[in-house]
Amino acid sequence: MAVKRTYEEINEKIRKGQAVVVTAEEVIGLVEEKGYTRAAQEIDVVTTGTFGPMCSSGVMINFGHSNPRIKMKRVWLNGVEAYGGLAAVDAYIGATQLPDNDPENKVYPGKFTYGGGHVIHDLVARKPLRLEAISYGTDCYPRKKLETVITLDDVNEAYLFNPRNAYQNYNCAVNLGDRTIYTYMGVLKPRMGNASYSTSGQLSPLLNDPYYRTTGIGTRIFLGGGVGYVAWYGTQHHPNVPRGENGVPLTGAGTLAVIGDLKQMSPEWLVGASFIGYGATLFVGIGVPIPILDEEMLRYTAVKDEEIFCPVVDYSEGYPYCKPNDLGSVNYRDLRSGRVNILGKEVPTTPMSSYPRARKIAQILKEWIQSGRFEITCPVQPLPSADADIVFRSIPERGVNDLNNRR
Amino acid sequence: MVKNRVVCYFSASQSEQPIIFRLARDYDLVINIIKADINPQKEGYLVVELSGDKQSYENGLNYLRDLGVRVEPLSQTVVWHEDVCIQCGACTSFCPTGALVITDRETMEVTFDNEKCIVCAMCLDCCPTRAVELHFEVA
Pairwise CA distance, residues A258 & A217, whole Å: 9
B92 vs A: CB within 8 A: yes
Q: Which value does ipTM take for this structure? A: 0.92
Between residues A18 and B11, the one the model is more confident about: A18
* Binary contact (B128, A349; C-beta < 8 A): no
Distance to chain A for B5, nearest Cα, Å: 28
pLDDT confidence bin for B114, thresholds 50/70/90: confident
Distance to chain B for A186, nearest Cα, Å: 7
pLDDT confidence bin for B31, thresholds 50/70/90: very high
Most A-contacting residue of B105, B120, B126 (CB-CB within 10 A), to test interface: B126
CA angle A28, A32, A38 (to 5 degrees): 95
Most B-contacting residue of A105, A355, A357 (CB-CB within 10 A), to test interface: A355
Mean pLDDT, chain B, integer: 88
Pairwise CA distance, residues A399 & A271, whole Å: 42
In 3D, which of A123, A162, A130 has the Cα closest to residue A271? A123
Q: List, in order of start, the domains of chain B with CATH numbers.
A: 2-75 (3.30.70.260), 78-138 (3.30.70.20)
* Binary contact (A338, B92; C-beta < 8 A): yes
Which of A55, A140, A310, A322 is labelled catalytic? A140
* Binary contact (B126, A271; C-beta < 8 A): no
DSSP codes of every residue in A301-356: HT--GGG-EEEEEETTTTTTTT------EEEHHHHHHTEEEETTEEEEEEE-S-HH
Confirm if A74 and A109 have CB atoms less than 8 A apart.
Answer: no
Distance to chain B for A231, nearest Cα, Å: 27
Nearest neighbour of A271 by CB, restricted to B86, B94, B107: B86
Most A-contacting residue of B125, B132, B133, B134 (CB-CB within 10 A), to test interface: B125
Pairwise CA distance, residues B46 & B33, whole Å: 7
In 3D, which of A28, A22, A34 has the Cα closest to residue A332? A28
* Binary contact (B129, A283; C-beta < 8 A): yes
Residues forming beta bridges with residue A282, ordered by sequence position: A272
Please tell me the predicted confidence (pLDDT) of residue B139: 42
Lay out the sheet containing A172-174: strands in order across: A329-331, A309-314, A172-174, A195-197, A345-351, A339-342
User: pTM of the predicted model, to two decimals?
Assistant: 0.88
* Binary contact (A350, B129; C-beta < 8 A): no
Pairwise CA distance, residues A377 & A288, whole Å: 11
Residues in B closer than 8 angstroms to A187, CB to CB, are 94, 125-126
Confirm if B1 and B29 have CB atoms less than 8 A apart.
Answer: no
Could you tell me how many helices (H) and strands (E) chain A has, helices first? 7, 26
A322 among known catalytic residues: no
Nearest neighbour of B93 by CB, restricted to A51, A348, A357: A348
Contacts of residue A404, defined as CB under 8 A and 6 or more positions apart, other chains included, come to: none
End-to-end CA distance of chain A: 67
* Binary contact (B89, A53; C-beta < 8 A): no
* Tens place of pLDDT per residue across chain A (407 aa): 689 999 999 999 999 999 999 999 999 999 999 999 999 999 999 999 999 999 999 999 999 999 999 999 999 999 999 999 999 999 999 999 999 999 999 999 999 999 999 999 999 999 999 999 999 999 999 999 999 999 999 999 999 999 999 999 999 999 999 999 999 999 999 999 999 999 999 999 999 999 999 999 999 999 999 999 999 999 999 999 999 999 999 999 999 999 999 999 999 999 999 999 999 999 999 999 999 999 999 999 999 999 999 999 999 999 999 998 899 999 999 999 999 999 999 999 999 999 999 999 999 999 999 999 999 999 999 999 999 999 999 999 988 777 776 65
Which amino acid appears at position A250 of this protein? L
DSSP codes of every residue in A171-231: PEEE--SSS-EEETTEEE-TTTT-EEE---GGG-GGGSSTT-SS-EET-EEEETTEEEEEE
Cα dihedral B122/B123/B127/B129 (nearest 10): -130
Collapse the DSSP code of A10 into the 3-class scheme (helix H, G, I; strand E, B; otherwise coil) and give the result: helix
pLDDT digits (tens, 9 = 90+) for B94-110: 999 999 999 999 999 99
B125 vs A: CB within 8 A: yes
* Binary contact (A276, B125; C-beta < 8 A): yes
| Interchain CB contacts (distance < 8 Å): A and B | 71
Q: Using DSSP bridges, classify how beta strands A279-287 and A220-223 pair: parallel, antiparallel or unpaired.
A: antiparallel
Using alpha carbons only, how large is chain A's radius of gyration in Å?
Answer: 23
pLDDT at B75 over 80: no
Distance to chain A for B42, nearest Cα, Å: 19
B120 vs A: CB within 8 A: no
Distance to chain A for B2, nearest Cα, Å: 35
In 3D, which of B56, B95, B55, B90 has the Cα closest to residue B78? B95
CA angle A122, A126, A131 (to 5 degrees): 70
Cα dihedral A12/A17/A22/A23 (nearest 10): 90
Using alpha carbons only, how large is chain B's radius of gyration in Å?
Answer: 17
* Binary contact (A351, B89; C-beta < 8 A): yes
Pairwise CA distance, residues A311 & A244, whole Å: 13
Distance to chain A for B125, nearest Cα, Å: 6
Pairwise CA distance, residues A285 & A271, whole Å: 9
Burial class of residue A400 in the structure, from the number of CB atoms within 10 Å of its CB (0-12 exposed, 13-18 middle, 19+ buried): exposed
The residue of chain A with its CA nearest to that of B96 is: A348
Nearest neighbour of A356 by CB, restricted to B90, B94, B109: B109
The Cβ of residue A382 has, within 10 Å, a number of other Cβ atoms equal to: 14
Residues in B closer than 8 angstroms to A271, CB to CB, are 86, 129
DSSP codes of every residue in A83-116: B--SSTTEEEEETT--BTT--TTSSSSP---S-H
Please tell me the predicted confidence (pLDDT) of residue B76: 58
Residues from A contacting B (CB-CB < 8 Å) are: 51-53, 109, 113, 186-187, 194, 196, 271-276, 281, 283, 336-338, 348-357, 359
The count of residues in chain B is: 139
